[in-house]
């Protein structure tokens, strides 16, 4: 068991993957000497050198496109986008190129690359540096998508992503980097693509991922004090989506909340609610409720920013309403 | 008695910019600003003052994330700027934008931008509308050396040149993009060559000498107004870290000391005195007045009220359009019905 932060777990995963496989290279802005805008790659250049920690100009489409070409020709690139918001710049290389190459070319070749980035609110970084854009990725056939909530998952999911044959978008949460936990990184990890029940419960199921897992767990604790026993499922990866674990839980509890930080409309919570409604129809006591970010750009003012994404209070309030009838 | 020369005006503008930056940095460190990111333009004042003075009131512009000085030089009210950076309702963008997203259509400021290069193509559009509507206005994009490696810049340069638009691209080359020195970001740092390759008029100028910046900018801006779009790189030095909290461990103290000697304010001051256009006491009085002005903006911003929570739903779409329903309201409505 070790005390480890989410940030350090990510770095350990990169280090171990680079030590195990020469083909792994990291490419992005400030990933080398500076150690990454959020410090994830700090120190790696001393171990692996500038040939494997490749600092780039501010040229995001070029970075991702380079990773695509390198992945097709023998390397295992980890491209880093400093902010998930910059998907706006690289969406062609990601969605029209990386995601489609295997299929368009009749299965001749895959694009085994990882695009690491970070998103979400919590630092008052404004409308262009705070978004939750996972729905863009999840909506694109051909892409894998991991969104770890814990340091242990940050480590294992990144290691696993670096063994896959297809492009993986790996979205970290900026508010989790400093979060510390006691983890056992040597324990066999949950398989790639499997959700985890973070807290068992009988009365309702919250299905979520990334930072919202912690919001859900805190809400579940407060709800327990009110006599409600709520289950919390951490999806860990959104593609693949482990709907079986969700179905089993909701069929047992009869109530489901889909919780996501991203905007409500056509978002991840909407997809989850649709899947649950289809699959668990006969077992549901209530409509599946989506709790998600407001349908607005993220304002810079800290009060407005905090008010624009789901809070523990809103989750407690919603489940209390559902469970007190 | 100081003699009224453009240089004295430049000096005052540059001093006001620096004083603003010093005050906003202090407010940031004390936790009084809204955003977690604050980029100071100290050392780059001559680019702001010199280019701005070459523009006309009707001209339009966009800036990068390090744009406080440019906006001030274009006539911004520093109290409303400070209030915006503090995330207050009376700020230029009602506290929704902050330091990196400040804008004011009344002054032709089409917006600061947190996407490196993001505001550059907007001036091509502003040039297109100026040409089509016959306004005579020039549109100027300000950006950093980091944006010189964004592909979007070259699409923009090409279109501006092809369509002979009244557009100027101004690169504030402070030698660094975050921790990356320009020679680690590109092989060729003679940026004017690139602009010329597209058919733009182009120049590079020393950002320590505000008169030289103004002269070079005037030629380029006047040319753009007459249908020859242009490019100007202002060579300066980023005196401090990328953001306020960055201590720049990636560059040597010697380099920083040498870089900070290239101070456009000290340079203008020495020249004013040397030419007998002003004297130390008069310049000190300008400095004192700037400090008092900017200290008052901090008081103004601190005392101003934060935006109401419900204001987050305003301005997603035009006035009169329905606002998005809040998640809380929707859930209550749905659960009341079922
Ligand atoms: C598209 C994009 N990529 C990366 C960043 C992160 N970033 C913010 S400022 C910056 C450096 C910009 O350097 P430069 O253009 O020279 O402007 P300066 O900060 O020196 O004024 C970087 C990499 C960003 N905001 N947008
Ligand atoms: Mg720069």
DSSP class of residue A80 equals: E
> Same domain for A12 and A148?
yes
- CATH no. of B6-337: 3.40.50.970
Number of Cβ within a 10 Å radius of residue B275: 11
> Same domain for A145 and A12?
yes
Domain count, chain A: 2
Measure the CA–CA gap between A148 and A13, rounded to whole angstroms: 13
pLDDT tens-digit series, residues A294-311 = 999 999 999 999 999 999
A174 occurs within a structural domain: yes
CA distance B47 to chain A (A): 22
In the predicted model, is pLDDT for residue B197 greater than 60? yes
> Same domain for A100 and A31?
yes
> Same domain for A123 and A233?
no
A300 occurs within a structural domain: yes
A191 occurs within a structural domain: no
Query: What distance in angstroms lies between residue A121's CA and the mean position of ligand 2's atoms?
Result: 26
A82 occurs within a structural domain: yes
A128 occurs within a structural domain: yes
In this complex, the residue of A34, A293, A296 whose CB is nearest that of residue B313 is A296
> Same domain for A290 and A170?
no
CATH number, domain containing residue A171: 3.40.50.970
> Same domain for A243 and A128?
no
A190 occurs within a structural domain: no
Q: Which residue has the tokens 């193509």?
A: B121
> Same domain for A130 and A210?
no
pLDDT tens-digit series, residues B134-168 = 999 999 999 999 999 999 999 999 999 999 999 99
- pLDDT at position B147, please? 98
CATH number, domain containing residue A302: 3.40.50.920
Q: Which residue has the tokens 């990866």?
A: A237
pLDDT tens-digit series, residues B185-195 = 999 999 999 99
- What is the distance of C-alpha B112 from the center of its chain? 7
| Mean pLDDT, residues A86-97 taken together | 98
DSSP string covering B120-180, please? HHHHHHHHHHHHHHT----EEEEEEGGGGG-HHHHHHHHHHHHTT-SEEEEEEE-SEETTE
| Mean pLDDT, residues B257-264 taken together | 98
> Which residue range(s) make up the domain with A319?
196-323
CA distance B165 to chain A (A): 25
Q: What angle do CA B33, B173, B222 make, to 5 degrees?
A: 105
pLDDT tens-digit series, residues A247-299 = 999 999 999 999 999 999 999 999 999 999 999 999 999 999 999 999 999 99
A271: left (phi over 0), alpha (psi -120 to 50) or beta: alpha
A129 occurs within a structural domain: yes
Give ipTM to 2 decimals: 0.96
Q: Does A300 touch chain B (CB under 8 A)?
A: yes
Query: What distance in angstroms lies between residue A111's CA and the mean position of ligand 2's atoms?
Result: 34
Q: How many residues does chain A have?
A: 325
In the predicted model, is pLDDT for residue B2 greater than 70? no
What are the residues whose beta carbons fall under 8 Å from the beta carbon of B277, sequence distance 6 or more? B2, B3, B5, B7, B8, B271
A188 occurs within a structural domain: no
Active site residues of A: 60, 129
Instruction: State which of A158, A183, A208 marks the end of a domain.
Output: A183
- pLDDT at position B338, please? 82
């Amino acid at each position: 068991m070790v005390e480890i932060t989410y940030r350090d777990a990510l770095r350990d995963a990169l280090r171990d993957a680079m030590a195990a496989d020469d083909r792994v290279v990291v490419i992005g802005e400030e990933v080398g000497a500076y150690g990454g805008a959020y410090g994830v790659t700090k120190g790696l250049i001393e171990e692996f050198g500038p040939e494997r920690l490749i600092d780039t100009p501010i040229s995001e489409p070029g970075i991702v496109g380079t990773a695509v070409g390198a992945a097709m020709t023998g390397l295992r690139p980890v491209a880093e986008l400093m902010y998930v918001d910059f998907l706006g710049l690289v969406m062609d290389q990601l969605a029209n190129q990386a995601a489609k190459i295997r299929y368009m070319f009749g299965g001749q070749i895959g694009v085994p690359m990882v695009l690491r980035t970070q998103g979400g609110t919590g630092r008052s970084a404004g409308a262009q540096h705070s978004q939750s854009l996972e729905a863009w990725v999840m909506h694109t056939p051909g892409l894998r998508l991991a969104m770890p909530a814990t340091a242990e998952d940050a480590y294992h999911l990144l290691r696993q992503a670096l063994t896959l044959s297809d492009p993986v978008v790996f979205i970290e949460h900026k508010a989790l980097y400093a979060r510390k936990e006691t983890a056992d990184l040597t324990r066999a990890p949950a398989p790639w693509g499997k959700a985890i029940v973070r807290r068992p419960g009988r009365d309702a199921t919250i299905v979520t991922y990334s930072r919202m897992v912690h919001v859900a767990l805190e809400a579940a604790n407060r709800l327990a004090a009110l006599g409600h026993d709520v289950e919390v499922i951490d999806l860990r990866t959104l593609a693949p989506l482990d709907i079986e674990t969700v179905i089993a839980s909701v069929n047992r509890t009869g109530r489901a909340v889909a919780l996501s930080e991203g905007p409500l409309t056509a978002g991840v919570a909407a997809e989850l609610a649709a899947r649950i409604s289809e699959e668990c129809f006969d077992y549901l006591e209530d409509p599946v409720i989506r709790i998600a970010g407001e349908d607005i750009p993220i304002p810079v003012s800290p009060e407005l920013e905090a008010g624009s994404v789901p809070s523990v209070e809103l989750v407690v309030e919603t489940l209390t309403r559902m469970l007190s009838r | 008695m100081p003699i009224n020369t453009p240089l004295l005006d430049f000096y005052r503008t540059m001093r006001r910019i620096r004083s603003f930056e010093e005050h906003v940095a202090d407010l940031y460190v004390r936790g009084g600003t809204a955003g977690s990111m604050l980029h100071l333009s100290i050392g780059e004042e001559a680019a702001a003052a010199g280019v701005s003075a070459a523009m006309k009131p009707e001209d339009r512009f966009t800036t990068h994330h390090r744009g406080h000085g440019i906006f001030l030089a274009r006539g911004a009210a520093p109290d409303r700027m400070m209030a915006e950076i503090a995330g207050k309702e009376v700020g230029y963008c009602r506290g929704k934008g902050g330091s990196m997203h400040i804008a004011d259509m009344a002054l032709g400021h089409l917006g600061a931008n947190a996407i490196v290069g993001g505001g550059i193509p907007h001036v091509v559009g502003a040039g297109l509308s100026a040409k089509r509507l016959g306004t005579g206005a020039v549109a100027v994009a300000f950006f950093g050396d980091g944006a010189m490696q964004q592909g979007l810049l070259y699409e923009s340069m090409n279109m501006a040149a092809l369509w002979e638009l009244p557009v100027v691209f101004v690169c504030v080359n402070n030698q660094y993009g975050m921790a990356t020195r320009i020679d680690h970001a590109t092989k060729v740092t003679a940026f004017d060559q690139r602009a010329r390759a597209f058919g733009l008029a182009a120049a590079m100028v020393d950002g320590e000498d505000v008169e030289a910046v103004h002269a070079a900018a005037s030629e380029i801006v006047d040319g753009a107004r007459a249908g020859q779009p242009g490019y100007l790189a202002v060579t300066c030095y980023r005196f401090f870290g990328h953001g306020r909290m960055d201590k720049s461990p990636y560059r040597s103290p010697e380099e920083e000391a040498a870089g900070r000697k290239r101070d456009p304010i000290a340079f203008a001051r020495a020249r004013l005195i040397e030419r007998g256009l002003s004297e130390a006491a008069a310049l000190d009085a300008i400095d004192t007045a700037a400090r008092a002005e900017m200290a008052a903006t901090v008081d103004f911003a601190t005392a101003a009220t934060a935006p109401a929570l419900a204001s987050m739903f305003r301005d997603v779409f035009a006035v009169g359009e329905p606002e998005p329903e809040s998640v809380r309201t929707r859930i209550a409505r749905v659960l009341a019905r079922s």
